[in-house]
Structure 1
């Protein structure tokens, strides 16, 4: 009898943790953070959710397009995740219009988003007066990164301060036998190079007239022709292995000193961090050329598929509050390379490049969205198609102008 009682007690003790786990708010989260730095970053959010009393089920799917497709298919198929990652863009506008997301208005009101969030972010996550996504971070798409070791080997003593000086540095790297520009030949990466030239060569006014306003006169202007010429000029500095290369493999070329420069979003910092390289010591970062250069804002958000199940809603609300917290955003960004959406996060805990970004974000005149914020997915895809064709063929500048004008015509 005593033996049976001991068995019953042991069984009860084993069952208790399982019952406790089942009683906790449980969130299945779909995301595409699979590289070294990204994986380390999302673990910070998962741990913060667990610390808040939730249970995190991780569904990582490599590739943004694939991950978004799985999310949408599961929502349409009636088996949605608790939450899913999207970029800060119009990627999820169709899902909102189909009434497939729960809003997060209560979190937005509590945190005062109308006053504290940058306008480009509000314009995509707030639709018809309701907030439908919780922003986690801010990425700047068009940073210029460089290897300190590669610059030293090429005899480049001064960080480029203008686009002209950048091209001069690329020439010196090439002469030194170093791959000047680490690039992955994929359409979205070419769009980033184009955006960098549009913002730095064309300036904020031309950038907005082309992408936000789709102004045909601006697209046909001499100023835009110079932007396209600068974009195509960059191709002379990439290596033959560029086509199809992933962005993090291009970053690895800087980490090893094989390449000198990469123009890419600040998520590459996660790769530097994972490789134990430090900003200012092993690599440098340039947020833009000139004190008024636009800061191209994008980032990551979580959306919450529609549900009337109280347990699902409880899990969603808990995750939303965790993601909105400054501490979560800061710990995530330290691994991801981004900066927090919350500007009240402590910049003293950020690296040198992140501190540059956080300082720039205090100047609202420099806040500009990436192309995906202003263009629909179809428009953005059409623009990418033209840019990639121009990059990889003998298409002239004038032909590219005409095709871009057609792609962005209302």
Structure 2
């Protein structure tokens, strides 16, 4: 089945082309030669560790159709029937968002602030996520056509805001973050439009340890459990399924537990077993020389020693989705880099030039507080609580026409 999730794993910097990989190890890259035609190379690694190569030069509009088909994915649960109608769904979304953000702010002592939709390019404020995603940009006429970028997330902006608001240790901020991620692989869990609660809290140097990270994660999970019970009170047909206890594991321990599985499949396996899991050490190199998943080197600290003396003071919170029968990531968070971790991680990634950017200079000059922070997906959280099969049942976005058609055939009603 070609409708699999694709993950960007590298960039050809010389030609600014992208390399993609499926879980089935199928690769391709492409180059637009002129207005009408595109060259595309397909790589098919075989079981004999050989590589079959297919080269095509096709009309660009046809290539676009092919790539859209490859990059999107769709899971259609057998016998799926929504438990709520459209009106109930909209009311549920409203109640969940209001209830959860109140609990989140109470648990972590956060105050709400207003967030930007875009920031100036070249300041080092926008987040690179896995390091290859392109930001949506546009020129600003009144600033001499200076470029602005629609945010990917607000990890670095929030830390700057903590300094501007003079927030004391033990307190923090949260915001409704809206973003556009043009390179997202569209599917049940991924949309061009991203909405999440972004939060950041000031900490002390003594808090920069894995036990403090686990304490904060546990508080956030407690808010999730309470919210699920609120949904049950509102809609009794939605039975609570979250375990009372969250399971913690390091990415290296997870790799050793499931050595024959790819990272995503490891996540599915561990989440199916425990129901709710926090994987520590996202972004650090494991004993096989690979990363469980990518992280930009200038916000989360994924190299300082943490759980069982393994590197990483950050991680991902995942839940087992009984509708999709797979794990879903609901939150990414971590203790942020201090000066030493920033230098170490930038050097490891060969990105020392970032030290010339505004945010990085502020950090190196000790004008930013130590902090912990993360993001929690609003639409995904609502999708989980309301037992929906597709994020498009929660939010309005753009989807491939063939996906809309197939969703309709399987009782998945995209907004």
TM range (shorter): under 0.3
Give the number of the structure with larger relative contact order, counting CA–CA contacts within 8 Å between residues 6 or more apart: 1
Q: Which is higher, the Rg of structure 1 or of structure 2? A: 1
- Report the structure, 1 or 2, having the larger strand content: 2
TM-score, normalization by structure 1: 0.23
TM-score, normalization by structure 2: 0.22
